Amino acid sequence: MKLEVYDSEGRLMTTLPGGKRRGVNRVKWYMRLKPPKVPPAPTLAGRALFGPMVPEGMYTVKLIKGDKMYNGQIKLVADPKLPHSAEDRAVQQQTVMKLYRMQERLAFIAAAVTDTRDQAKARAKKLKSGDKLATSLEAFADKLDKLHKTLVATKEGFLTREEQLRERVVDLYGAVSSYGGKPTESQLGRLTVLNKEIDQANSAYETIIGKELESMNAQLKVKKLEAIKVLTKEEYEKKEQVR
């Protein structure tokens, strides 16, 4: 037996295990989305361990037991004790979701960068030392590695306090999601800046592969080595589902 919760647009929000005891069973729904995906790094992204609260509104609940299904609806409302207006809560929810998606976008960019870098290193190792193509592959991988180091903190240890793009986005997400009211103007401005930095990181990656990848793949073909493939969003999401 399980319980499925859908939002007003029919999207599955979560699946909860149903109780097995006789009589009335209570099922807890913590009313949060899954934690955002963040790029891997030596340091813990503590402020991204929790997903955002789901928005207020109507939700459909489906109780499924074998081939039988029972539907119901629940309405989520704000705590009346909260001092924040509906408009301020809406701005907070929209901002949190923007930051949520920004983290996931950055995670994909970082994964694509490291995947391409690692493929280049692997191809270089299959060539003789001093081979011209091997040197080009190593230089290509080095450019990608330098880009990756601007995306996430790479130094180990809690005392380093190294902050790169990942850490800055996670910190802002944590600050906005922990307060139920409207974000400050400073926070909203910071979001815009960080979103542009993510755009720039993606452009930098596309520029690197755009200038060199086609030529190197042609040379790899001559050497009878596998081409370097660019990670697609679909491939990335499949890998994440396995984890």
pLDDT of residue 40: 84
Phi then psi for 152, rounded to 5 degrees?
-135, 155
Residue 79, token pair as written in the block: 């705590």
Q: How far apart are CA 228 and CA 120, in angstroms?
A: 7
Strand order in the sheet with 2-6: 12-17, 2-6, 57-65, 68-76
pLDDT band at 46 (very low <50, low <70, confident <90, very high): confident
Cα(first)–Cα(last) distance of the chain, in Å? 25
Other Cβ atoms closer than 10 A to 30: 11
What are the tens digits of pLDDT across the range 157-175? 655 567 899 999 999 999 9
The H or E element containing residue 54 is none
Q: Do 175 and 167 touch, CB atoms closer than 8 A?
A: no
The DSSP letter of residue 47 is G
DSSP label at 33?
A: P
Per the DSSP assignment, residues forming a β-bridge with 22 are none
pLDDT at 74 over 70: yes
What's the pTM?
A: 0.88
| pLDDT for position 159 | 57
240 confidence band (pLDDT: 50, 70, 90): confident
Query: Is the Cβ–Cβ distance between 95 and 195 less than 8 Å?
Result: no
Tens digits of residue pLDDT in 83-96: 999 999 999 999 99
* CA–CA gap between residue 36 and residue 54 (Å, rounded): 13
Domain ranges of the chain: 2-76, 86-242
Cβ neighbors of 12 (< 8 A, separation 6 or more) are: 4, 5, 6
CA distance 94 to 63: 30
Mean pLDDT of 188-217: 97
Mean pLDDT for 74-79 is 92
Torsion of CA 177, 169, 106, 160, to 10 degrees: -130
- The span from the CA of 243 to the CA of 232, in Å, is 17
When pLDDT is averaged across residues 51-61 and rounded to a whole number, the result is 93
pLDDT of residue 45: 73
Query: Can you read off the two tokens belonging to residue 133?
Result: 């193509």
Angle at which helix 185-222 crosses helix 165-177, to 10 degrees, equals 140
pLDDT computed for residue 97 by the predictor: 96
